Amino acid sequence: GESVGLHLPTLSVQEGDNSIINCAYSNSASDYFIWYKQESGKGPQFIIDIRSNMDKRQGQRVTVLLNKTVKHLSLQIAATQPGDSAVYFCAETGLNTGFQKLVFGTGTRLLVSP
């Protein structure tokens, strides 16, 4: 599968920099959020998730921040590497759909220069 096309928001960073990718979600009833990474020619891969009763969650080199007041989600990648180059999607779901249906954002392309 091919990644999304040419008109995505793009974030260009240098290797070693920290990256911040932002996402605004629309449904105030959503209470579970996920970040996916999609490399060229592959399907999206799970990175990290967060529930609405949290405002921060950390993984390995990644941190997700959730601001429910303004319905904003961000993904921070520390010490960005060329292998982090991909399209990143946020997704939301909630109890109103039994957590069964994910609604995806349009994605942000991250380009990491060596």
Residues that bind another protein (CB under 8 A): 1-2, 4-8, 32, 34, 36, 41-46, 49, 51, 89, 91, 93, 99-107
What are the structure tokens assigned to 111, written together? 């380009």
CB of 15 to another protein, least distance (A): 27
Q: Which is nearer to another protein, 56 or 101 (CB)?
A: 101
What are the structure tokens assigned to 19, written together? 């990256």
Q: Which is nearer to another protein, 14 or 46 (CB)?
A: 46
Residues in contact with 62: Cβ distance below 8 Å, sequence separation at least 6, in sequence order? 35, 47, 48, 75, 76, 77, 78
Q: What share of the chain is helix, strand, coil (3-state, %, to 5)?
A: 5, 50, 45
CB of 22 to another protein, least distance (A): 15
Q: Which is nearer to another protein, 52 or 76 (CB)?
A: 52
